[in-house]
A and B are shown apart, each in its own frame.
Chain A
Amino acid sequence: MDRRQFLGGVALGAFAAAMPGSAALAATPQDQLVIAVNMGSMRGLDPHEANQIESAEILANLYDRLVYFEPDALDAPKPQLAESWTVSEDGRTFTFTIREGVTFHSGNPLTAEDAAWSLARLVKLGLAPAIDLRQWGYEESNVETLIRATDERTLVLETPEAWSPGLILASLASSACSIVDRAFLADKEQNGDLGRAHLQAADAGSGPFSLRTWRANDVMMADAYADYWNGAPAMRRVIMRHMPESSVQRLQLETGDLDVATRLSSTDLDVFEKAGTIDIQKVQGFGFYYVALNQKDEILSSPQVREAFRYLIDYDGLASTVMRYYGIKSQTVIPNGLPGFLDEMPYSLDIEKAKALLAEAGYPDGFSKTLYIGPGTPYFEFAQSLQANAARAGIKLDLQMGDYLSRFRERKFDIFMGRSGERLPDPHSILQSYATNADNSDDAPLSGLMAWRSAWDVPRELQDLVMAGARETDPSRRAEIYTKVNALYLEASPALITSFERFDVKAVSKRVSGYVGHPTWLTRWDGVAKS
């Protein structure tokens, strides 16, 4: 054999070994769960900093919180790290008894001190999720006195003002209020960052899974935590892979290399739903697809024009086509399943009615405006439909697709179409943004509120009712208030027109049981089993 033959043989051998026979069609192992997500929007794994739906699912499993909600019972908080709690008569003092014998992944015992320190850390860092506590009046200056451990197992939490206790408990169940390992982070602190740099790619939790590997935009692996207080999970490992392409997710789900797909296109979901080979979960997302009309614009601030736009949306047509896997028709502002929900749909596509309203407002020949939308499905199809209907009523809409959230935040737009989502399963979290605007001036620090972004001077009565609902301690009176708020919103010709309640769809292999998408993004893996 000469040298050339030898090299050729080696090369052929290497490829032969690498190619078939090594069985790529094997299904995922019995004790491992493989989930595909688009990791693009994820920003590190610090629970007091992360604010994205994909991160929340990971944090839900690396960390525990004082209380939690079952996905189908969002009105009844259940004990997690707090085995029980009491609320004072005035609703302002919560006393939690911390579960005994819980340990962090580091082996450190979890105490009430850790809980108090974690909540204070959230407020002190003051990043996006901090709003879950800051909105109730907690600040750097008061959090340590108001939230404190009185002994190893007792956490006392006083609220700065009186709020509905349900709201406080909902906040404590959010991924933002995850309890972190204080002693462990003390060693990792750099320049007083409370361990923030370290936690970007590490875990300091006590949840059912501990972080094994984290490579941004590539892969996350978490291993079952054998000493979890509620018993070790059935899945030995959970793997999350970055797969932005819907078609790739679909193929991998079909071949069995994947157990859960999270970003499938309508076309791919349609194929699965028709074939019946994969379970399609439509997970409620506490938000709406909305069309915002800038009230600084003279034309768009006319109540008749606002009303006209509600007749230009093809609710039924969209519901049976592009929105089928993205949302469910809804024209009010409180999602189904929450107190105050109203099953009312007074609006439908009606070009003539819209024309009449425009004439009444003094614009019988219509006008031209720019409509800004986010990139991709379903915004594009939705906007195209709206554009076509508007044209029939004489309104010329110029479509601009791209990353225009900053324009919306800075009130530099005519019409903006987007989608909202909230972490707290309570009407208040939505209403605060859609229906309160305490200061409508351009320099008010309220850019977090969608009503302010739309420059909508929300009717006083509506705003007062929203705040009354937040402070009401009696659940049935609270539900009454919210029903009234919802009805008022519907009547007010709001600048924020809701059309669909948001859903997030997951496609789950039939081999998997117990993987239940959570409406507040906190999907857990410890109940998952595979056949």
Chain B
Amino acid sequence: MSSPELTTTEGRAGDGRLAEALRKVASSMVAILTTLFGLLLLTFIIGRMIPADPVISILGDNFDQAAYDRVYRELGLDRPVPEQFLTYVQNILHLDFGQSNVTRNPVAADLARVFPATLELAVLAIFIGTLLGVPLGIASAVRRGTWVDHLGRVVGLLGYSTPIFWLGTMVILIFYARLGWIPGGGRIDLYNDGLVEGPTGMLILDALMAREWEVLRSALHHIAAPALLLGYAAMAYLSRMSRSFMLEQLNQEYILTARAKGLGQRPIVWKHAFRNIRVQLLTVVTLAFCGLLDGAVLIETVFGWPGLGQYLTAALFYADMNAVLGSVLLIGLISILINLLTDVVYRFVDPRTR
């Protein structure tokens, strides 16, 4: 007789969990939308306050008053600012991000072109940075004070303190101009340009899918230097962080206990200490990745990489507000998504958050 009761209790508990989950989803949706709206409002206000005149940026060197007035009206600048903002938000809700004054394309089409270029670079860089940086940091911590540690710290310090545009320029000077090992910039040889288009916009993936090996070779050849440089910068950061996380753990009493129990170095480091720094590591890797998405502008400029950083910089420089707002919105959205994803991963690696 007790079994139906049990089922009911379980059912109730299940309903409760579902409701709880729904409530969580709803509250995070509200948080996301509020954040995005705030971001838009702030960017819009800043855009109106900077002294640059978008009309002049469109018209060029010389023009008469009639042409000025025409473009002023076309941009909707003759209407009150709150109305302009409302119209913009309305259009966003219809997934219309407006037209870029610089490229004259719909901003959505521009972002679909430039974002994959940056994403490709950032993903490769974070892979390189994590795969090299974390083991290096851990090795430095474990062999603290030995040559491994010193080497790791010097490598990290160099990457951390050298301006990346300077490193980029040096790499171009040595490996492009002197040795001729790398191409001088861009995503692909001009002769292979346009052979592969879509579906992801990430050339390496697209070339793999289309089995265009020459395009793949050219794309890898072009991405190698910027990705290694960005990867190096990420590595420097991640190795420093993992070194200090690891050192903190290795000084804990439970490690001493493990050692006292006669456990070997390997299981102490990987089974005990590493498990405990995974959450922190995940946080810094996420931060580094978000930084790469919007902060690769210097490397993009040096290597002529037509990515989001360059796009946003040009938009800011030429008072191209639609492009600025669209880019900021995209970066905001991606950051939020990555953070959400990280939260989900936390639940797997850290039982306390379940």
Contacts and interface: CB of A to CB of B under 8 A. Distances in A.
Given A24-B183, A221-B190, A251 B224 contact: no
Contacts of A14: 220
Contact of B67 (A126, A242, A446): A126
A17 B220 contact: yes
B314 A217 contact: yes
B193 interface: yes
A213 interface: yes
A217 B103 contact: yes
A230 interface: no
A34 B102 CA distance: 23
Interface stretch (A39-47, A74-82, A293-301, A491-499): A39-47
Given A247-B169, A248-B184, A255-B177, A420 B62 contact: yes
B310 A217 contact: yes
Interface stretch (A111-119, A178-186, A401-409): A401-409
A127 B67 contact: yes
Nearest to B55: A406
Contacts of B60: 41, 43, 50-52, 128
**Most central of B61, B172, B319 by chain A CB within 10 Å:** B61
Contacts of B301: 244-245
Contact of B306 (A51, A217, A221, A405): A217
A127 B220 contact: no
A43 B104 contact: yes
Contacts of A407: 51
Contacts of A386: none
Contacts of A446: 65
A22 B182 CA distance: 9
A51 B65 contact: no
Contact of A251 (B105, B179, B184): B184
B173 A251 contact: yes
A406 B51 CA distance: 8
B70 interface: yes
A17 to B, nearest CB: 6
B185 interface: yes
Interface in B179-225: 179-186, 190, 193-194, 217, 220-221, 224
A503 B177 CA distance: 29
B53 A131 contact: no
A6 interface: no
Nearest to A407: B51
Given A19-B221, A24-B182, A128 B63 contact: yes
A135 B64 CA distance: 9
Contacts of B318: 40-41
Interface in A102-156: 126-128, 130-131, 134-135
Contacts of B270: none
Contact of B177 (A219, A251, A405, A409): A251
A128 B59 contact: yes
A215 interface: yes
B71 A127 contact: yes
A349 to B, nearest CB: 29
A25 B58 CA distance: 38
B224 A248 contact: no
Interface string B20-64: 000000000000000000000000000000011100111111111
B306 A245 contact: no
Nearest to B172: A251
A279 interface: no
Given A17-B217, A245-B301, A255 B61 contact: no
A56 B29 CA distance: 49
Given A248-B172, A257-B184, A51 B61 contact: yes
A270 to B, nearest CB: 18
B289 interface: no
Given A40-B314, A43-B101, A248-B302, A215 B224 contact: no
Interface in B74-114: 100-105, 110, 113
Given A24-B176, A245-B301, A219 B59 contact: no
B59 A127 contact: yes
A447 interface: yes
Interface in A375-427: 402-407, 409, 420-422
Interface in B288-327: 301-302, 304, 306, 310-311, 314, 317-319
Interface string A12-42: 0011011110111100000000100000110
A217 B185 contact: no
Given A217-B103, A244-B301, A420 B181 contact: no
Interface in B240-285: none
B67 A219 contact: no
B141 to A, nearest CB: 24
Interface string A446-459: 11100000000000
B70 to A, nearest CB: 5
B253 to A, nearest CB: 35
A200 B221 contact: no
B1 interface: no
A422 B62 contact: yes
A445 interface: yes
Contacts of B184: 24, 248, 251-252, 255, 257
A19 B224 contact: yes
17 contacts: A34-B190, A40-B318, A44-B104, A131-B62, A131-B64, A135-B64, A201-B104, A216-B104, A216-B110, A248-B172, A251-B172, A251-B173, A255-B180, A257-B184, A404-B51, A406-B52, A409-B56
Given A20-B180, A40-B314, A128-B64, 8 more contacts: A15-B220, A24-B176, A24-B182, A43-B102, A217-B310, A221-B193, A255-B177, A445-B64
